Structure 1
Amino acid sequence: MTDSHIPPPAPFVILAMPRTGTHYLEELLNAHPNVLSNGELLNPYATTWPDKHRLLRSDRELLELAYSCCPAQSDKKATHVGCKVNEPQFHDRPGFFAELTRWPGLRVILVVRENTLESLRSLVQARQTRQWLKFRSDNDAPPPQVRLSTADCEAYFKAADDFHARVVRSFTKSNMLEIEYECLLREPATCLAAIWDFLGVPALRFSSTATLQRQEMRPLEQTIENFHELRRHFSHGPYARFFDVGERGRAVAID
């Protein structure tokens, strides 16, 4: 900001496990004239960040880039600027999370997917196909089926639980808003209304103009080759609910 009389944009961050609809959420947020979310700060391939060498900076310098320099991708006059970080991206920068918690006035939007198995399935599919997003102009061919090991499932489920608990533990309730992935897809207008109120920006009427599309429309038992084997393994533990093939288990949406 060049005018010292204009306050800097208020900072926010979107935190989530991979494949939880955060790209879709950012697309909706950026439709607001006062909100600018600049994508994955710690992703070296993110095209929203013109500084290709930014990850050589310290954690503090990265956050200053995100919230003080904030590379605007449009001419909008943003009063709130943000970025997003997925859980695995913290692994390469173990001190970054702590630095994030110290950023003054930071608002945190935590996106949680009810069925963590769907998140893992989608992540493996995306890695295999190298197709991370699907737009309206793309073909309608479904992603390939995947095969998951019990060890990978257990590790991923635990990582999700630990990450969600860490976020809730590290930020005050008044500075954090949890958004359910499934609610975002079923009732985007309701979720956005909660976000506008949380950020403190004027309410914006929801308009369904998103270009991102669902990548996977099939239920879990049709997308995971060894689904029934995994269901038997987890049937008596805390993660049995992820293998429910009833109406809730059949819910699929944008990855």
Structure 2
Amino acid sequence: MNHSTVTTEPFVIVGMPRTGTHYLEELLNAHPNVSSNGELLNPYDTIWLDRNRLLRSDRQLLELAYLHYPAATGKKHVTHVGCKINQPQFQERPGFFEELARWPRLKVMLVIRTNTLESLRSLVQARQSGHWLRYGADNDSGPPPQVTLTIEDCEAYFKAASDFHRQVADSFSPANVLPVEYESLLGAPAVCLQAVWAFLGTSVHPCPHRTVLQRQEVRPLEQTVFNFDELKRHFRGGPYESFFEAGKD
């Protein structure tokens, strides 16, 4: 761990699980002056070798993230440093979100997947298969498994996403929050990065033509959720109806 010898600008990537936070981090780390150091609250994240860090206080953890962060290979002058935290990790560590919101000058990138059902489906697939990320060399691993989702799990997850997005909006100044759409990140990453560089206040850096990380699921919801029709009937006419419309994946 290296102590920051110059003033760096702090940022954090937040979102629900399976919304593209890891992909955004990979794009950010292509910039020579930006260092995003994985999941601070994940005890298995290989960037953070000391699992005992999670025994520290919330303030000490944030000091680790923004003042004593790992040295990034090949980066001699880091001006912007950050990490990423998914919504369930905040739930598992009560009070940490509030401590994060107090960190000075913090910029927040909130990654949002328009169809929250896609996020839940992908999360359940990853839990069942044990495959959380797919890299270029893993193309022979086959498609993720089809899944069955309960009505109760869907309702709870949809509400959790809505509540979390509202919590972020209510806890930070609008000038310090940049919503990043998952669909735009996949379809037009260069455009998204232009907005990110402007938001962070760093120099413009070209978008990588290729990344090692690969998308795992490309099939529509109807082909990957066994009980899709049952769920569609249940949520028809309600606030989450659009998640079950054709072409909304």
TM-score, structure 1 normalization: 0.94
Q: Does 1:65 align with 2:70?
A: no
Letter of the structure 1 residue corresponding to residue 13 of structure 2: I
Runs of 4+ with deviation above 2 angstroms = none
Aligned twin of 1:29: 28
1:216 aligns with 217
Percent identity between the two aligned chains:
62
Query: 1:205 is matched with which residue?
Result: 206
For 2:178, the aligned partner's letter is L
User: SS at the partner of 1:91?
Assistant: helix
Q: Partner residue of 2:14?
A: 15
Residue equivalent to 1:230: 231
TM value normalised by structure 2: 0.96
* Maintained 8 Å contact 1:66/1:83: yes
Q: Secondary structure at the match of 1:206?
A: coil
Structure 1: runs of 5 or more not aligned: none
Output the CA distance in 2 between the equivalents of 1:211 and 1:205.
16
Report the Cα distance in structure 2 between the residues aligned to 1:198 and 1:121, rounded to whole angstroms.
Answer: 31
- Do the aligned partners of 1:48 and 1:73 also contact (CA within 8 Å) in 2? no
Q: What is the Cα deviation at residue 230 of structure 1?
A: 0.2
Residues 194-216 of structure 1 show CA distances to partners (whole Å, capped at 9, x for unaligned) of: 00011111101222220111111
Q: Closer, same or farther in 2 for the Cα pair 1:90/1:2, shift >3 Å?
A: closer
Secondary structure in 2 aligned to 1:103? Answer: coil
Instruction: State the alpha-carbon separation in 2 of the partners of residues 42 and 73 from structure 1.
Output: 19
Q: CA deviation at 1:229?
A: 0.3
Moved more, 205-214 or 155-164: 205-214
Q: Residues 34 and 79 of structure 2 are in contact (CA less than 8 Å); yes or no, is this contact kept in structure 1? A: yes
SS in 2 for 1:147: coil
C-alpha distance in 2 between matches for 1:234 and 1:2: 51
Distance in 1 (CA, whole Å) between partners of 2:81 and 2:230 is 45
More helix by share: 2
Pairing of 1:167-178 with structure 2 (within 5 A)? 167-178=168-179
Residues 64-92 of structure 1: CA deviation (Å, up to 9, x unaligned): 00000011231302100000000000112
The Cα offsets for residues 217-236 of structure 1, whole Å up to 9 and x where unpaired, read as 10000000000000000011
For 2:124, what is the secondary structure of its paired residue?
Answer: helix
State the Cα distance separating 1:51 from its structure 2 match. Answer: 1.6
Provide the C-alpha distance between the structure 2 equivalents of 1:224 and 1:92, rounded to a whole number of angstroms: 28
Contact residue 232 and residue 244 of structure 2 kept, 8 A = yes
Cα deviation code 1:92-118 (max 9, x no counterpart)? 211100000100010000000000000
**Helix, strand or coil for the counterpart of 1:236?**
coil
Unaligned 5+ segments in structure 2 are none
1:140 positional shift: 4.9
Rounded to whole Å, the distance in 1 between the matches of 2:244 and 2:214 is 24
CA distance in 2, matches of 1:47, 1:8: 25
How far did 1:2 drift? 6.5
Q: Deviations over 1:29-61 (max 9, x none)?
A: 000000000010000110011222100000000
Is contact 2:3–2:67 with CA below 8 Å preserved after alignment? no
- Residue in 1 that maps onto 2:166: 165
